[in-house]
Amino acid sequence: MSRLPTISTSLLLAMIVLASACTPPGPGSGGVPSKPYFHDSLETGHPGMNVYSAPAPGQSTVLPREYPGAPPLVPHDISGLDITKDANACLGCHSDGISFGEGHVATKIPPSHYTNQSTGAETTELQGLRYNCNICHIQQSEEQSLWCFDCHN
Partner 1 sequence: MTVNRRDFIKIASTSAVTAAALSSGLTRGDVDYPAGLTWDKAPCRFCGTGCSVLVGVKNNDIIAVTGDPDSPVNEGLLCCKGYRLNKIHSASDRLKKPLIRVSPKSVTKDAEFREASWDETLDLIASKMQETLADIGPTGIAYYGSGQNTIWEGYASSKLFRAGLRSNNVECSARHCMASAVAGFMTTFGMDEPMGCYDDFEHADAFVLWGSNMAEMHPRLWARIVRRKLSAPTTQIINLSTIHNLSGEMADKEIIFSPQSDLAIANGIAKLLIDNGKIDNSFINDHVAFKAGKTNIGYGLEDNFSFQEAATAATLNDLIAHVASYTPEYVEQISGVSPADLNALADIYGDPNIKVMSLWTMGVNQHTRGTWMNNLIYNLHLLTGKISTPGNSPYSLTGQPSACGTARETGTFSHRLPADMVVANAEHRAIAEGIWNVPAGTIPAQPGYHTIEMLRALDRGDIKVLWNNTANLFHDSPNLNRYREGAKQDGAFIIVSEVYPNRCTEVADVILPSAMWVEKEGAFGNAERRTHFWKKMIDAPGESKSDLWQMVEIAKRMGVGALFDYDATAYPIPNGQKMSDASLAAGCYLEKALFEEYRLFGNGKGHDLAPFDVYHQTRGLRWPVVNGVETRWRYNEDYDPYVAAGEGINFYGNEANGGKAVIWLRGYEQPPEMPDANYPLWLCTGRVLEHWHSGTMTRRVESLHKAYPHATAALHPTDANNLGLVHGDYIRLSSRRGSVELYVDIDGRVTPQEGMVFVPWFDEDVMINQVTLDAYCPISKQNDFKKCAVKLEKLS
C-beta separation of 85 from 71 below 8 A: no
Q: Cβ closer to partner 1: 66 or 96?
A: 66
Q: Cβ closer to partner 1: 4 or 12?
A: 4
Cβ of residue 93: shortest distance to partner 1, in angstroms?
Answer: 18
Q: Cβ closer to partner 1: 39 or 93?
A: 39
What is the C-alpha to C-alpha distance for residues 61 and 80, in angstroms, rounded to an integer?
Answer: 20
Cβ of residue 102: shortest distance to partner 1, in angstroms?
Answer: 25
What is the C-alpha to C-alpha distance for residues 134 and 136, in angstroms, rounded to an integer?
Answer: 5
Cβ of residue 10: shortest distance to partner 1, in angstroms?
Answer: 12
Long-range CB pairs of 23-27, under 8 A, 24+ apart, other chains included = 24/151
Cβ of residue 118: shortest distance to partner 1, in angstroms?
Answer: 6
Look at residues 90, 128, 132, 83 and name the one whose alpha carbon lies nearest to residue 108: 90
Q: Cβ closer to partner 1: 6 or 124?
A: 6
